[in-house]
Amino acid sequence: MTENRSLVLVINCGSSSLKFALFPAGDQTPLMSGLAECLGETDARITAKIDGDKKTESLNGEGHAAALDVLLRVLAEHGWLAGVKAVGHRMVHGGEAFKASVVVNEKILSEIEAHNHLAPLHNPANLLGIRTAIAKMPTIPQVVVFDTAFHQTMPASAYLYALPMEYYREQGVRRYGFHGTSHRFVAEEAVSLLKLKPADHGIVIAHLGNGGSATAVLNGKSVDTTMGLTPLEGLVMGTRSGDVDPGAVVHLARAYGWDVNQIDTVLNKKSGLLGISELSNDMRTIESAAAEGHDGAQKALDVFVHRLARHIGGLATSLPRLDAVVFTGGIGENSSLVRKMTIERLKVFGIVLDDAANEATIRGKAGVISKGAGPVAAVIPTNEEWMIARDAGELAGLGGSKGAARA
267 vs 289 by CB, closer to ligand AMP: 289
Nearest CA among 33, 354, 28, 338 for reference residue 212: 338
Instruction: Name the minimum Å distance from CB 96 to ligand AMP.
Output: 27
* Distance separating alpha carbons of residues 157 and 317, to the nearest angstrom: 12
**String marking each residue 35-74 x if it binds ligand AMP according to CB under 6 A:** ----------------------------------------
Q: How many residues in total does the chain contain?
A: 407
Determine contact, residues 388/181, Cβ cutoff 8 Å.
yes
Among 335, 358, 370, 401, binds ligand AMP (CB under 6 A): 335
* 220 φ/ψ sector (left φ>0, alpha ψ -120 to 50, else beta): left
Is residue 80 packed enough to be buried (19+ CB in 10 Å), middle (13-18) or exposed (0-12)? Answer: buried
Q: Which of residues 209-228 bind ligand AMP (CB under 6 A)?
A: 209-210
* Distance separating alpha carbons of residues 6 and 259, to the nearest angstrom: 51
Query: What would the DSSP string read from start to end of 199-215?
Result: TB-EEEEEEESSSEEEE
Q: Which of residues 287-306 bind ligand AMP (CB under 6 A)?
A: 287
What residue is closest to ligand AMP based on CB? 330
Among 14, 95, 177, 238, binds ligand AMP (CB under 6 A): 238
Query: What would the DSSP string read from start to end of 25-79?
Result: TT-SS-SEEEEEESTTSTT-EEEEEETTEEEEEE-TT--HHHHHHHHHHHHHHTT
Question: Does 153 contact ligand AMP by CB under 6 A?
Answer: no
Which amino acid appears at position 122 of this protein?
H
**String marking each residue 82-121 x if it binds ligand AMP according to CB under 6 A:** ----------------------------------------
224 vs 287 by CB, closer to ligand AMP: 287
Helix (H) or strand (E) holding 1: none
Instruction: Name the minimum Å distance from CB 204 to ligand AMP.
Output: 18
For residue 215, the cross-strand partners are: 205, 225
Helix, strand or coil for residue 10?
Answer: strand
Q: Which of 27, 147, 224, 323 is catalytic?
A: 147
383 vs 401 by CB, closer to ligand AMP: 383
Instruction: Name the minimum Å distance from CB 329 to ligand AMP.
Output: 4
Please say if 391 is a catalytic residue: no
Question: Given the rule CB under 6 A, which of 247-255, 280-288, 312-320, 346-354 is the region that contacts ligand AMP?
Answer: 280-288
Among 111, 264, 282, 354, binds ligand AMP (CB under 6 A): 282
Among 177, 275, 329, 375, binds ligand AMP (CB under 6 A): 329
Residues marked as catalytic: 147
Note the residues at the interface with ligand AMP (CB under 6 A). 209-210, 238, 282-284, 287, 329-331, 334-335
